[in-house]
Copies of this chain bind each other. A is one copy, B any other.
Amino acid sequence: MENEVLKTVKGTKDFMPQEQMQRNWIRRTLEAVFETYCCKPLETPMLQHYELLASKYGGGDEILKEVYRLSDQGDRELGLRYDLTVPLTKVVGMNPEMRMPFKRYEIGKVFRDGPVKTGRLREFIQCDVDIVGTTSVLAEAELLSMAFEAFKRLGLDVYIEVNNRKLLSGVLQELGVPVERAGDVMLSLDKLEKIGVDGVRDDLRERNVEEPLVLAITSFLQEGVITLDLLAERFTSQLVQEGIRELRDMLAYVKGAGVGGELRFSPFLARGLGIYTGIVYEIFLQDGSMTSSIGSGGRYDQIIGRLLDDGREYPAVGISFGLDVILAALVNRNTEEQKAADVLVIPLGTEASSLGLANRLRESGIRVELELTGRRLKKALDYANKEGFAFALIYGENEVNSGQVVVRDMREGTEQSVPLELVGKWLSDKLSG
């Protein structure tokens, strides 16, 4: 088949039924968890004014390069949203009467015209929960408790790395890192686990960090395992102490949450430079089968206020899950939704009665496909086999007249007649058994 028009746009993908069933299951699982936490759904448009997307915001110039721009018939300059936070900010700003805290979730497409890698598309689904309007780290604790619960239901064993930007900034200050070099040093330290102390030393030098500072930092790294207790003793600034207090409170709250799940203090976790102001976190698989994180977030107390510029404060904290990262993590694991369809009803000249039979079964919650093409019985059974149906019901004139249905067990290859009025219960029992 040659057809030049049939191309999928670079960075996009058709999700075929097998995958899409699993994505639907992930989405519904997340929604159910979000809703037991009383997070409320919000749906914002994908089309936004370019001016809003480009306005002063933590995303910065980097992300602007990746915005798909377009205009409408009225020559408005528009863009496709690149995240769900900017549209949330707009909603908060346009609804000043909104009761706080505002806990909302949104699951929707975002668009980034950036590099395409494995598992990284230009059009992808984000699942975000944000709480606007409270400074209490109980909010962070709720989000992490919710994340543990969500991944438990998804059947994924995860741990969450946590840190506090206040603590990290305070430590760097006390080590003598000037504010204007803090960003560079954070980016170096973020790689510690991957490249070790020697690697960090080289990396700092490459960034032209002054030698005495390199020495101060690396010798600190060599003091041993960096725990909260160690930092609390060694660093005394208010910023460090506040960061530690927030983390300890949050750890105690999550412990009280009783959801299980492992939190790991990760003293150099930074999560980018522009956005976060307090606690940050990143979620990983325990089995290490994926090295990238499958969720992340943190507190960003200044972003919304900076954008709205209305003199009010909008403390906020959020968490974001990537639907397709979760999908990738679930590959080769069985989920409920992956099971094959239930029943194929095959009419043999009995279309009207067969549709009636199919509908009676559907009412008991059985997923029923009606054979629609009028193909011969052998071909229809062949189809049932290939599509993985558990049962095929053969329904001809004789069966209609005698009030019976021939039920074929596709796995066993056996057939038996079942009275019409019993077949629903019979199938339900077999399918749930």
Contacts and interface: CB of A to CB of B under 8 A. Distances in A.
B373 A113 contact: no
Interface in A26-60: 28, 31, 35-38, 40-49, 51-52, 55
Interface stretch (A197-205, A252-260, A408-416): A252-260
Given A96-B1, A131-B372, A43 B70 contact: no
Contacts of A68: 47, 70, 72
A64 to B, nearest CB: 13
Interface in A354-401: 354-356, 358-360, 362, 365-370, 372-374, 383, 386-387
Interface stretch (A17-25, A160-168, A210-218, A237-245): A17-25
A366 B9 contact: no
A142 interface: yes
A147 interface: no
A104 interface: yes
Interface stretch (A133-141, A184-192, A284-292): A133-141
Contacts of A72: 9-11, 68, 113, 122
**Size category, A interface:** 35 or more
A10 B40 contact: no
A69 B69 CA distance: 9
Interface string A117-157: 00000110000000101101011011001000100000000
Contacts of A254: 355
A44 B14 contact: yes
Given A9-B45, A374-B136, A38 B341 contact: yes
Contacts of A422: none
A271 interface: no
13 contacts: A3-B310, A5-B49, A6-B52, A9-B48, A11-B72, A12-B47, A14-B87, A17-B41, A23-B43, A46-B109, A134-B372, A136-B372, A256-B354
Rank and list the top 7 A-B pairs by shortest CB-CB distance, nearest first.
Answer: A256-B352, A12-B45, A38-B369, A17-B40, A70-B70, A15-B43, A20-B41
